[in-house]
Amino acid sequence: MDRELFTSSWKMTVVRGAVAVVFGIVAIAWPIETGLALMLLWGFWALLEGVSLLVQAFRSSGQEGRWGRALLGVTALIVAFFAIFSPGVTAQTLTWIFGIWLIVRGVFETFTAFSSYRLTPRWLLLLGAALSILLGVFFVANPGRAAVGIAVWLGLIALCWGVVFIVAGFLNRREHRWPAAPANPAPA
pLDDT in the model for residue 160: 93
**pLDDT above 50 for 100:** yes
d(CA 75, CA 27): 29
123's torsion region: left (phi>0), alpha (psi -120 to 50) or beta? alpha
CA 72-73-74 angle, to 5 degrees, is 95
d(CA 24, CA 151): 9
d(CA 114, CA 131): 17
Percent with pLDDT over 70 in the chain: 85
Of 24-38, 94-108, 164-178, the poorest mean pLDDT is in 164-178
Is the pTM for the entire model greater than 0.85?
no
Helix axes 87-113, 143-175, angle to 10 degrees: 80
**Helix, strand or coil, per DSSP, at residue 183:** coil
